[in-house]
Amino acid sequence: MASTTSSLDIRHSTCPHDCPSACALDIEVIDQAKIGRVRGSKQQSYTAGVICAKVARYAERIHHPDRLLYPLKRSGPRGSGQYARISWDEALDEIAMRFDQAERDHGAESVWPYYYAGTMGLVMRDGINRLANVKKYSRFFGTICSTIARAGFAAGTGKIAGVDPREMAKSDLVVIWGTNAVATQVNVMTHATRARKERGARIVVIDVYDNETMKQADIKILLRPGTDGALACGVMHVLFRDGYADRDYLARYTDCPDELEAHLASRTPQWASAICGVPVDEIESFARAIGQTKRSFFRLGHGFTRSRNGAAQMHAALCIPAVTGAWQYEGGGAFFNNGAIWRLDKTLIEGLDSIDPATRRLDQSKIGRILTGDPVALRDGPPVKAMLIQNTNPVTVAPEQALVRRGFARDDLFVAVHEQFMTETAQLADIVLPATMFMEHDDLYYGGGHQHLSVGAKLIEPPGECRSNHQVIQGLAARLNAKHRAFELTARAIIDATLQNSGRGGVDALQAELWRDLQPDFRAAHYLDGFAHPDGKFHFKADWSRVALSHAGLDGPWQQMPALPDHWAVIEQVDDAHPFRLATSPARSFLNTSFTETPSSRSREGRPTVLMHPADAAKLDVAEGDAVTLGNQRGETTLNAKLFDGVRQGVLVAESIHPNHAHAGGSGINVLTGADPVAPHGGAAFHDNKVWARKAASPNPSPVAIKRS
């Protein structure tokens, strides 16, 4: 598997970060503890030799002087930053003791293991669920990222899978909708630009600001946040009106084309334009381009689903290729994520055989409400008294940050954080544990944005006393008397058994292959033998109460959701007190809050900025670089203004997520975002905020003064 070029050992791995690209990596291994450059594999057909700049410089992160190396115990008041080094045994004993105490005093559900996708490796990410399941602790319902989008996609197709994303290269019109792919999943651009170069395809980008992806577009559609459903309806109106609807396809593959057509009669481009702000002639010409191009590929992202109407928006956009029948053609159809293709038996990893369905599931996004005792968020159960947190930084990334911080400040809450760096969540913990990085442990990976399954093997020794997530869970299970056969296995043995149990051979074979391409065949990927609903049809009429994929039940105002594609006006509307709409789109050189520690990412991102139209800035008497405070009913935060005419007036964009302490006053961007549940299954509407803006009283700290730890 290893090959040698010059004196360097090049080893294979997979990027573990929370990114749909899950790039295949070639890593220079210098010695047992050191790496050099990281490159994208040229052989793996989706990665195709391209990775983002932040991971190419991974040596900066893995060999960072601020990495956590030893277990720590808080020795001063919470948040004081005072910690004393302790041994692993002391740390694990203390956590187990506090978990048992919480269980004795308040029941097992008062313990809440909390995690997310800081690593996408299946063993290290999801193994914490096994501990929760065996111990009947509160279970975790992960809603913060893609729950809204998934519901919208599955409402149409019946499952989360679509056209091979490499087929973008064979498309004649690539519609990049609500994803800033240049920043968030660079490989989309590799395949889209290949189509342009090799076939003269046009690239359309639909977003709320002229971001780095839109700068590469042939057709730019700049809309108001949360209005994509209106745009989609206006487009479909034209498709029916002008004879671009594929009547044969509609009759054969869709549920209610006549009803849809009648419904759309009043959703004219004029109607859509008034809502989304896109001029009528742009809607008309975009619709014509779709109507005249059989091979139209809709690459749908998360961005336009991080709104209170996000699931309905995803469904509305997804209806377009069903109207034109683009699904029938190579290079046509839609793709969001490949969640349904892997079919891995995760019993061992997650302890699925130990679930007690009566145990409550707590919603990740509502952590602020949960920790401050909201009975609805707690599902009328006991308070949360003890937590273990792995792979996530909720004090900075979760919505309703004012509540989150108040929750973590509680003296009666015990928190253990297992981390690679002293994040703002770790800074509020009682016990901090040092974690390995992906090259320092074994794991199993797949890409939400592609079709390759791979093993990422341990390549180098971890620094200090870092332990993997699996080792921590094993150490706690032993002390908590939690019994499951997977607690006795190494991570590699769990990977092996998981692959075997899923009918996919073993770990050695997969590792020797480097990756395995699990792309379903053309007919399946294009739904040519029918969609995944029981009736085999694409559903224009969504049955929101029955969308598959919900594990925790319905939430939010799902009964009011429109069944047919529409503009669902539940987004936060501007009012006199809050004249702006704010989107908190991802920053290119950070990945959530990962890489906020690396010097090159920090210098590229600088201070937290808000993009503001010059006309809006003039009204507020704000000049380039001025500190601006944004606020709403949930709180306020300060950023520096960047005057930019690539947003519509009345729309602000704050590329995120900077550390809270990079903002004057220490409240981060998520003080502005809400955790009111998004229908139909919950989730956070990160880009759907009404805010006021004014010149700030005090400036932001200068970037050099910002220390992460």
Ligand X SMILES: Nc1nc2c(c(=O)[nH]1)N[C@H]1C(S)=C(S)[C@@H](COP(=O)(O)OP(=O)(O)OC[C@H]3O[C@@H](n4cnc5c(=O)[nH]c(N)nc54)[C@H](O)[C@@H]3O)O[C@H]1N2
Pick the piece of the chain touching Mo ion (CB under 5 A) from 94-102, 143-151, 389-397, 681-689: 143-151
Residue 669's binding partner among Mo ion, ligand SF4, ligand X, none (Cβ under 5 to 8 angstroms by kind) is: ligand X
Contact residue for ligand SF4 among 19, 290, 472, 510 (CB under 6 A): 19
- Dist. CA 289–CA 296, nearest whole Å: 9
Residue 248 has a CB neighbour count (10 Å cut-off) of 9
Q: Which of 273, 584, 629, 700 binds ligand X (CB under 6 A)?
A: 584
Kindly tell me which of 136 and 302 has the beta carbon lying closer to ligand X.
302
51 binds ligand SF4 (CB under 6 A): yes
Nearest approach in angstroms of CB 597 to ligand X is: 8
Cβ closest to ligand SF4, residue 118 vs residue 269:
118
Contacts with ligand X: how many residues (CB under 6 A)? 60
Q: Which residue matches tokens 């620094």?
A: 463
Report the nearest approach of ligand SF4 to the CB of residue 63 (Å).
Answer: 17
Instruction: Give the x/- contact pattern for ligand X in 224-243, rule: CB under 6 A.
Output: -xx-x---------------
User: Of these, 22, 52, 123, 145, which contacts Mo ion (CB under 5 A)?
Assistant: 145
The alpha helices in 466-611, defined as continuous H runs, are: 469-480, 491-501, 507-513, 522-525, 599-605
Residue 15 binds to ligand SF4 (criterion: CB under 6 A) = yes
Distances (CA, A) of 598 to 25, 29, 67: 20, 20, 11
Does residue 116 belong to the site contacting ligand X (CB under 6 A)? yes
Choose one: 28-36, 322-330, 481-489, 578-586; the region binding ligand X (CB under 6 A). 578-586
Backbone angles phi, psi at 690, to 5 degrees: -95, 140
User: Among 233-241, 290-298, 302-310, 378-386, which window interacts with ligand X (CB under 6 A)?
Assistant: 302-310
Interface mask (CB under 6 A) for ligand SF4, residues 252-291, using x and -? ----------------------------------------
> Considering only residues 123, 186, 334, 671, which one is a binding residue for ligand SF4 as defined by CB under 6 A?
186
Contact pick of 10, 15, 19, 582 for ligand X (by CB under 6 A)? 19
Q: What is the dihedral of CA 680, 684, 690, 695, to 10 degrees?
A: 180
Q: How far apart are CA 379 and CA 358, in angstroms?
A: 12
Of 168-197, which residues contact ligand X (CB under 6 A)? 177-180, 183-184
Q: What is the residue-wise DSSP string for 617-652?
A: HHHHT--TT-EEEEEETTEEEEEEEEE-TTB-TTEE
656 with 587: CB under 8 angstroms? Answer: yes
Interacting residues of 650 by C-beta distance below 8 A, sequence separation 6+: 224, 574, 579, 580, 581, 613, 616
Token readout for 61 is: 């992160």
Task: Assess 568 for contact with ligand X (CB under 6 A).
Answer: no
Distance (Å, whole) CA 564 – CA 255: 11
User: Which residue stretch of 47-55, 100-108, 290-298, 576-584 sits at the interface with ligand SF4 (rule: CB under 6 A)?
Assistant: 47-55
Pick 28 or 419: Cβ nearer ligand X = 419
* Residue 591 in contact with ligand SF4, rule: CB under 6 A: yes
Look up residue 97 and give its amino acid. Answer: M
Q: Output the CA angle 314-315-320, nearest 5 degrees.
A: 100
β-sheet bridge partners, residue 335:
299
Specify the DSSP class assigned to residue 322.
Answer: H
Q: Which does 15 bind (CB under 5 to 8 A by kind): Mo ion, ligand SF4, ligand X, none?
A: ligand SF4
**Residue 238: HSE in the Cβ half-sphere, 13 Å Cα cutoff:** 24
Binding flag, residue 27, ligand SF4 (CB under 6 A) = no
22, 450 contact by CB (below 8 A): yes
Within 13 A of 643's CA, how many CA atoms are on the CB side?
Answer: 13
- Return residues touching ligand X (CB under 6 A): 18-19, 116-119, 124, 144-145, 177-180, 183-184, 206-209, 211, 225-226, 228, 301-304, 306-307, 390-393, 397, 418-421, 423, 435, 469, 583-588, 590-594, 653, 656-657, 669-670, 673, 686-687
- Return residues touching ligand SF4 (CB under 6 A): 15, 17, 19, 21-23, 51-52, 55, 186, 591
